[in-house]
A and B are shown apart, each in its own frame.
Chain A
Amino acid sequence: MVVHSDVVCPFCGCLCDDLEVTVEGDEIVGVKNACAISRSKFMNHGENRLQEPAIDGKKASLEKAIEEAAGILADAKRPLVYGLSSTDCGAIGRAVELAEVLGGVVDNTSSVCHGPTILALQQVGESKTTLGEVKNRADLVVFWGSNPTESHLRHLIRYSAMPKGMYVPEGRKGRYIVAVDVRTTRMERVADEFVKVDQGGDFELLLVLRAAVRGVKIKAESVSGVPRETIMELVRRMKGAKMGIIFFGLGLTQSDGRHMNIDAAVGLVTELNHHTKFLLTPMRGHYNVAGANSVTTWQTGYPYAVDFARGYPRYNPGEYTSVDLLAKEEADAAIVIASDPAATFPAEAVRHLAKIPVVTLDQKVTPTTMLSRVAIPVATAGVEAEGTAYRMDGVALRLSKVVEPEDGLLSDEAVLEAIIERVRALKGEVG
């Protein structure tokens, strides 16, 4: 029996690094410190596995599958490389390279989650921090359009609500927690104050808060369903905080207004910095979506939706984003790595995905592997393969390998490397 300590969890953007995983032989028999989802990921990593490489649903050798995959991609006019947020950075770098060699498009899941956050950042910036600053200093924590009790199970415990920090020795009692959402969630029980905002009213509320911070008199009785007294009290708390932070989720990025909502939130935080220290940080979902943005940015200059059709990277969300490329029936082949767009994309996009040849690298059987021409099983990053992942706040951590993968199972990175090599050969480029 071997106990691996300080293991990093490869599930959500919290990237908790204090797991204890117990292994007997090749089997994980126990996980300590993990949340329910994380435990399930480790304990059940062997379930529902993609058994062997397959072409058109028929068993094939890995070599054949890679050959077929490379052929599909090399023949395509507008190939799409998509996914990447639940694998390690090595694989992400290779995916970018593959897209470049193909003259195709590389995109990651942020185009359907926090893409608008990045658009806002590109307009106005962002005042952010690593999570330890929140733990050590924040006495006011706002969750806006985000429900960590169901999405990031240990966020409140490790970083934002409960922990005793250097200047918040009382822990939970030393913090005032506000949750803003369009409907009641379990955050109502966790927070000191729950503010219910009208559906679609976030932008207006944020702007009014900013104006009030600036000293503008608010005459309206209520804004977006929130009474003036509540607004003024919140403004008083924000300006009076020693250090405050807003964590925001898809409630803000994927509702009406999208990047303009974040633009307004950034504006509010910037305004507050004239009075006290105030920050905001997006609640990134997949454990390495921040890494997908980071690697793609350092290699190409852009975080997602990158097109190489002209031989150099171009960026245009709305045009080179996966949902758009598929819904407009532009992509004529796709390779999906560590993601399940068939289950999560809008129907129009999935319909087109089902029509074109798709190559999928995954550990498990998913709707996407089922509609794929080529499906290649891979080792699970962070369980069966090492690598790097970036926490929601940009802190890079080392993923561990706690068990050996099944014989013949390669990492995402290794499979992508092999595909790149074959594509190069097919295109007449040597090494």
Chain B
Amino acid sequence: MMGDLIVKGGYVYDPLNGVKGDKMDVFLSGGKVVEEVKGRDAKTVDASGKVVMAGGVDIHSHIAGSKINIGRLLRPEDHRKDVVPRTRYTRSGVGYSCPSTFVTGYRYAQMGYTSVMEAAMPPLGARHVHEELNDIPIIDKAGFTLLGNNHFTLKYVKEGDMEGLKAFVAWMLWATRGYAVKIVNPGGVENWKWGRNVGGLDDLVYNYEVSPRQIVTSLARANEELGLPHTIHLHCNNLGVPGNYETTIETLEAVKGIKAAEGREANVHIVHAQFNALDGENWMNVKSGASKLAKYVNANENVTLDLGQVIFTDTTTMTGDGPWQFRLHNMTGNKWVNSDVEMEAGAGVVPYTFKKDNPANAIQWAIGLELALLVYDPWRVYMTTDHPNGGPMIYYPKVISWLMSRKARTDTMLELNKSVMRRTTLANIYREYDFNELATVTRAATAKALGMDHKGHLGTGADADVSVYDIDPSTWRPSMYKELEKAFAKAAYTIKGGEVVVKDGEVVATPLGATHWVKSEVPEALETELMKDLEADFRDYYTINLANYPVEDAYLPTGRPMTAEGRWR
């Protein structure tokens, strides 16, 4: 049994509970935040002069499963520049853009993150995802199930069978032990199985004759009627195509009227929005569409988004968007892995270097920050790099400095291609995040968007996940952004489930965190129908038996199910 812990005397930022830098103690007992701890044997963590926040919650990252593992396999050259020796407490491994599983857990914890979402889990690859999640220490995790190009999704959408679709989604979340509905380039990935794509919301999917618009709106409705804790997690069509901000807005317009589940306003989350906020006609005259997208988001409360912030470095792109990755391979000539998954999904992996002197890259960098700064409500725009697509997550401290310091942005902008001045609005933006806003976009708001009531805050009953950063907010000024970067790169303390796991930036304990998933009961009659359908199509079209498809309990040694109450007709 872990002892009680008091995090003493820090400046606490807990936006979900309205605490904005008050000097106070946080009490932890039995893995939870409590009102007070009694008894003398409680240990103390000295946080005086430091920032205290709930553990970070990353809403979109690629940390486990076939895609990141292809990235690791593909890139020995990436590993060689960032080797991690074993220590008394930790396993060895490699880092940088495709870190090994153990190192993934350590590095997130070292930055004060305690929960990370794997954003793309192909159902047939779910068992693999969970095997890797079980090898990622410390942090809590969850996988988002890819459903936007699934045969059964397309079939039920075509038939207009909403109840069938809902039953299928609920069953799939159980079968894959998934947490949310992920949609990647709806329709485009199925067409890629024939070497094609879709070009917009009203293009048709071959053989199924349904449009991306129908897929997105149907899944969004199903998601909300099932009362799932998170909205649909959407990678829009036309990613990486200049002018695509229009597709993004058109998609948002399409889902606008859909009634959100009880307890929230949002009904859609746009992932790595930077890649989907391009204006212009081609890569030569590309410009930022961020202000237009931000304006739309400001006016429509049903939308949340994460950044997909670009970092200037060599990284590895990996998405479920196969046709985009082929395009990127043709644009760059870099090595290319394509990986199709029968009946349901696909993926691609291509190394990519974001360069400061490349005009398009400079604009992409600015777009992420423009979105963060032009969307007024920090509860609806979240910090990510879409690790490792925009850049490796180890650069989060850098992103933090850009968000909190205009000087940090200016210093970077001066090194960039001049297009960043002419084709984005970033130079005219003076807004700087304060610590409260930072706590919002990195933990409070992400936990809220995910519907994880026990995460992202320090109120009584919350999970005892706490991070302490060695920076004094009473004396800090935005010009001191380098100190900020340092403080957020290596937390003074990270506490996970009430246990100190990082001290002075070094990992000192490696418990296995939980894997969260959503349990949604399907009415019996619907389930019987669904099983008939599944059995027939599995027999005819899959290469494994239905009985061998659902992930077994053995893969969830630390599973933490959350129940969702659906509305059924």
Q: Is A418 an interface residue (CB 8 A)?
A: no
> A218-257 interface mask toward B, CB cutoff 8 Å, 1 = contact, 0 = none?
0000000000000000000000001100000000000000
Task: Name the contact of A395 in the complex, choosing from B349, B544, B545 (C-beta under 8 A).
Answer: B544
What are the residues of chain B within 8 A of A135 when measuring CB–CB? 342, 541, 543
Interface centre among B83, B88, B131, B552 (most CB of A within 10 A): B131
Interface centre among B193, B337, B544, B552 (most CB of A within 10 A): B544
What are the residues of chain B within 8 A of A128 when measuring CB–CB? 337-340
Judge whether B94 and A313 touch: CB under 8 Å. Answer: yes
Complex Cα distance A301/B100, Å?
A: 6
Judge whether B86 and A311 touch: CB under 8 Å. Answer: yes
Q: Is A396 an interface residue (CB 8 A)?
A: yes
Complex Cα distance A127/B127, Å?
A: 22
Min CB gap A331→B, angstroms: 20
Q: Is A17 an interface residue (CB 8 A)?
A: yes
Complex Cα distance A273/B131, Å?
A: 32
Judge whether A127 and B66 touch: CB under 8 Å. Answer: no
> A22-45 interface mask toward B, CB cutoff 8 Å, 1 = contact, 0 = none?
000000000000000000000000
Complex Cα distance A315/B554, Å?
A: 32
Interface centre among B192, B541, B542 (most CB of A within 10 A): B541
Task: Name the contact of A301 in the complex, choosing from B72, B125, B132, B135 (C-beta under 8 A).
Answer: B72
Do most interface residues of chain A lie in helix, strand or loop, or is the interface mixed? mixed
Do most interface residues of chain B lie in helix, strand or loop, or is the interface mixed? mixed
Q: A131-B342, A299-B101 are in contact. Are A159 and B543 (CB under 8 A)?
A: yes
Q: Is A259 an interface residue (CB 8 A)?
A: no
Complex Cα distance A133/B544, Å?
A: 12
Q: Which residue of A lies closest to B350 (CB)?
A: A125
A128-163 contacts to B (CB < 8 Å): 128-133, 135-137, 158-159
Q: Is B508 an interface residue (CB 8 A)?
A: no
Q: A17-B548, A243-B194, A312-B85 are in contact. Are A298 and B135 (CB under 8 A)?
A: yes
Q: Which of A116-124, A199-207, A374-382 contacts B (4 or more CB under 8 A)?
A: A116-124
What are the residues of chain A within 8 A of B329 when measuring CB–CB? 125, 270
Judge whether A388 and B127 touch: CB under 8 Å. Answer: yes
B330-375 contacts to A (CB < 8 Å): 335-343, 349-350
Judge whether B127 and A397 touch: CB under 8 Å. Answer: yes
Complex Cα distance A273/B254, Å?
A: 33
Complex Cα distance A297/B68, Å?
A: 10
Task: Name the contact of A277 in the complex, choosing from B99, B194, B540, B552 (C-beta under 8 A).
Answer: B194
Judge whether A97 and B544 touch: CB under 8 Å. Answer: no
Judge whether A93 and B135 touch: CB under 8 Å. Answer: yes
Task: Name the contact of A299 in the complex, choosing from B127, B135, B335, B349 (C-beta under 8 A).
Answer: B135
Instruction: Count A interface residues, CB 8 Å.
Output: 66
Judge whether A297 and B92 touch: CB under 8 Å. Answer: no
What are the residues of chain A within 8 A of B554 when measuring CB–CB? 386, 398
Q: Which of B73-81, B454-462, B509-517 contacts A (4 or more CB under 8 A)?
A: B73-81
Q: Which residue of B lies closest to A136 (CB)?
A: B541
Task: Name the contact of B127 in the complex, choosing from A118, A293, A312, A398 (C-beta under 8 A).
Answer: A398
Task: Name the contact of B94 in the complex, choosing from A93, A165, A312 (C-beta under 8 A).
Answer: A312
Q: Which of A175-183, A208-216, A302-310 contacts B (4 or more CB under 8 A)?
A: A302-310
Extra inter-chain contacts (9) besides given A132-B541, A312-B93, CB under 8 Å: A100-B92, A122-B73, A130-B543, A298-B64, A298-B69, A300-B93, A301-B98, A301-B100, A395-B124
A-B contact list, 21 entries, CB within 8 Å: A8-B548, A100-B86, A121-B337, A122-B76, A128-B339, A129-B341, A129-B342, A130-B124, A132-B342, A133-B341, A136-B342, A165-B541, A277-B195, A278-B195, A300-B100, A302-B76, A312-B84, A390-B128, A395-B125, A396-B125, A398-B127
Closest 10 CB pairs of A and B: A132-B342, A301-B94, A277-B195, A311-B85, A129-B340, A125-B335, A127-B338, A396-B127, A6-B547, A125-B336
